[in-house]
Structure 1
Amino acid sequence: MNLILLDPKQMLSDLSYALSERQQTHIHKVIKAKSGERLRVGVLGGKIGEGIYEAETPEQPAHIHSVVLSAEPPAPLPMTLVMALPRPNMLKRTLQNITAMGVKDIYLIHSAKVEKSYWQSPVLKPESIHQCLLEGLEQAKDTTLPKLSFIPRFRPFVEDQLPALLEEKEGLLAHPYQAKPCPINLQKPCVLALGPEGGWNEFEVGKWLEAGMESVQLGERILKVETVVPVLLSRLYPA
């Protein structure tokens, strides 16, 4: 946690915020801050700055006061990411990485090689997803939550929604076969479609290409989703 990310709902007064139990534990055990120390804070959906930490006492709960917010959050990546729903135990780490790297428009889509049971996973509950996204923001010192959409039907999305998403953007389909090398340092916004570990099937690849996407690959090695996401994002938009 490189940023104490405060929800506006935690506000006690104009310059003071209560701390959640998770935040208190992190400050106490990891940061090991003492009362009166200044900590880096940000307000969800707002700016970044500093505040003074006060530990819990019998008279008052743990809180941050004298908050001054002066810096804007990092700029978002100019990318819309469409990703086949990963295995639940991989989804958390992947969403944290995606959020930390600055993607603000994410679609989780069904694919022929995605197990239908994945869509019933507790990981997809709103509170679980929200926590993953928050942890990504805290890691990257960001305050802007991404927009996350669930797409349980492949064909209607590609045929009906994708054309509008592709307007004035480059469409890139991550696929290991019959594809050109992935571009480096892209100079325009893009839509990136990333398949399951088994890859898109022939029908799905055909629909992506019909919609105007271009197939790209990273080489002969097949990488796990949690690995390929940071590789592709840092290649397309180097820091």
Structure 2
Amino acid sequence: MESEAIQVLLVDDDAGLRDLLRKFFQQRGIEFSVLHNATNIANRLALERPSIVVLDVMMPGVDGLTALRQLREAGDTIPVIMLTSLADEMDRVVGLEFGADDYLGKPFTPLELLARIKAVLRRHSGQPSPAVNGRQGIYRFGRFRLDLAARALFCDDKRIKLTGTNYALLEVLVTHPMETLSRTKLLDMLYGPDADITERGMDLAVWRLRRLLEEDPSQPCVIQTVRGVGYMFAPSDGGDGNEKSV
């Protein structure tokens, strides 16, 4: 589904998040509307049928899980992505049992939410996922394996815990190997051109990712600094012939 055809309804009581996401999606030509709470979500959907609903779990009054359950019990099958705290694993489990199509832990980047939205809409339309990550959607570098379909990073056979920002940054780097990416370009790719994130914030995100990937983060080999410009992902080859090596 092309971005121009997507219509998103965000249900969240966080005004700052609503404003950030509205700007991000509108800059990309995506129709975007909001509800401040879930009390009248059924009435809203009777008047407006977006492509997808992004529904926060924790809200005053009717919470997101209750709203989702009510929608599904009424027979409404509109795609729904739940926004949850990273710590609230039970909310994710309950949300999926109630009929959520996906969940996204806070904090997250707008780019990550857009990727989830497109994936959910592809599943609903029966379209295959784009083959941007090789045949199996897996990248190997050194001892690491990044599975884009599962949104998971493994070192040998051990899964490495990633925040939303960790994952989004790593995906950008892995899909642009041996390419010098300026801090400005990275910020644009992750957050959009008008995001209120400084280059110092980008440096901090890189530093955190280096702590997961580098044997010695103070002397990085995988995520190299290009002095005065930005960063370059310089992976070692760990491929096995069946998965994409970078």
TM over 0.5: no
Q: Relative to total residues, which structure has the larger strand share, 1 or 2?
A: 1
Which one has the largest radius of gyration?
1
Give me the TM-score of the superposition, normalised by structure 1: 0.32
Structure with greater contact order relative to length (CA < 8 Å, sep ≥ 6)? 1
